[in-house]
Amino acid sequence: MIVYGDPSGGRLDVAAAELEAIMEAAGYHATVKAEGGLVTCEVDVLRPETVARAAYLQDVGELLYLGGDVQVDATRLDFSRLSGKTFKVDAEGFSEGAKRSIDEAYGEWVLRSAEGSSVKMKNPDAVIRVVKKGRTAFVALTTPRVGGKWVERRPRARSFFHPSALFPKLARLMVNLSAVGPGETFLDPFSGTGSTVIEACLVGAYGLGLDLDKKMVFGGRRNLRGFGLDRESQVLRGDARFLPFREVDAIAGDVPYGRASSTKGAASKDLLEALLVRGRWCLRRGGRLVVMHQKSAPLGEPKGFEVLGEYEFYVHRSLTRVISVLRKS
């Protein structure tokens, strides 16, 4: 099966890294390629929970066709796997008339070729996407998009708010890049209001948060309790420079900086350097450490880690943040 990811916001580099990481979290060691504006890899089976956890991939599913024929004949494709299931067709990138014709042609073919299938426009079992991008097109099977999932967990919608809080989409990306899997232990050593810990719990991990600020510790606990995740998590008061944990499966955190974040007098650069040292001791071998830091404070060559990738995120004219993804050697 060829799995595809459709990048969100045009970040093909981030999309490729995220797809590779969530495949690793699901137990696959897949090689991800970028082609036709998509990222793809090959696996045996694609589990629904793998699809659902994506952040910077607006869609993840099974790729049926990718090529230059922007009006590929529906009868050339096998939809027998939709037997007994509900579906809808969603063509994008075409004129209104062409979209209507494509939706009808694919719908008729599936009804004829997949026994017991039926059309359902709201919350179907599967969505057939027929998408035109420039001179290429792709046809894919995916699950319905979940609208508003980030808005529901935005910082101001939580029980405790602080301006330094990460937005859930970015927090989920960091969790995904850490490749933490269900049942594994995730640590954010700068947990703040609990953004990454929340997202880690939602993908099935056990979330550990650590923060030096007592107010943040109580606020993070309130937020996790507000989402009913307090049993799947623990937030403690502590110093990231002296991590009090024996072994965790994945680490991800945003190194505090600026006036909105309290570092209790510690420089962001010193916190980053300490995390690379202390994180190496409590992270399992082969585990990932994902850290967001200022571009002006590069990692250098961290001892005991392999750098898997670095991804820049522009904040404003004088500030660019970098997400660095490391694997413990």
Do 71 and 188 lie in one domain? The reply is no
Say if residue 259's pLDDT is above 80: no
Do 138 and 167 lie in one domain? The reply is no
What are the tens digits of pLDDT across the range 24-80? 999 998 999 998 899 999 999 888 888 889 999 988 999 999 998 877 889 999 999
What are the tens digits of pLDDT across the range 281-321? 999 999 999 999 998 888 888 999 999 999 999 877 668 89
Residue ending a domain, among 87, 116, 142, is 142
pLDDT of res. 66: 94
Say if residue 245's pLDDT is above 60: yes
Distance between CA atoms of 88 and 6, rounded to whole angstroms?
19
Range of the domain at 30: 2-142
**Ramachandran sector of residue 35 (left: φ over 0; alpha: ψ -120 to 50; beta: rest):** beta
**What's the mean pLDDT in 158-177?**
96
The contacts of residue 78 (CB under 8 Å, 6+ apart) are 64, 113
Say if residue 112's pLDDT is above 80: yes
pLDDT of res. 29: 87
Do 246 and 295 lie in one domain? The reply is yes
Distance between CA atoms of 29 and 20, rounded to whole angstroms?
8
pLDDT of res. 301: 85
Q: What percent of the chain has pLDDT over 90?
A: 79
pLDDT of res. 38: 94
pLDDT of res. 263: 55
pLDDT of res. 50: 85
Do 259 and 281 lie in one domain? The reply is yes
Do 221 and 94 lie in one domain? The reply is no
pLDDT of res. 6: 93
What is the CATH classification number for the domain harbouring 195? 3.40.50.150
Do 127 and 175 lie in one domain? The reply is no
Instruction: Return the residue matching tokens 């585990």.
Output: 287
**Ramachandran sector of residue 99 (left: φ over 0; alpha: ψ -120 to 50; beta: rest):** alpha
What is the CATH classification number for the domain harbouring 8? 3.30.2130.30
Query: Which residue from 181, 109, 179, 127 is spatially nearest to 6, judged by alpha carbons?
Result: 127
Rg (CA), the chain: 22
Do 97 and 194 lie in one domain? The reply is no
Asked which of 53-62, 204-213, 240-249, 254-263 is least confident by mean pLDDT, the reply is 254-263
Do 121 and 161 lie in one domain? The reply is no
pLDDT of res. 284: 97
Do 272 and 232 lie in one domain? The reply is yes
**What's the mean pLDDT in 215-242?**
96
Do 95 and 179 lie in one domain? The reply is no
The larger pLDDT score, comparing residue 235 to residue 134, is at: 235
Do 243 and 158 lie in one domain? The reply is yes
Distance between CA atoms of 296 and 31, rounded to whole angstroms?
32
Q: Tell me the two tokens of residue 1.
A: 């099966």
Which 3-state string (H, E, C) describes 245-260?
CCCEEEEEEECCCCCC
What band does 260 get if pLDDT is binned at 50, 70 and 90?
A: very low
Q: What is the mean pLDDT of the chain?
A: 92
Residue ending a domain, among 142, 164, 182, is 142
Query: Tell me, what amino acid is at 327?
Result: R
Do 309 and 186 lie in one domain? The reply is yes
What band does 148 get if pLDDT is binned at 50, 70 and 90?
A: low
pLDDT of res. 264: 60
Domain tally, the chain = 2
Cα dist. 17→7, 42, 278 in Å?
11, 15, 25
Residue ending a domain, among 118, 142, 166, is 142
pLDDT of res. 145: 76
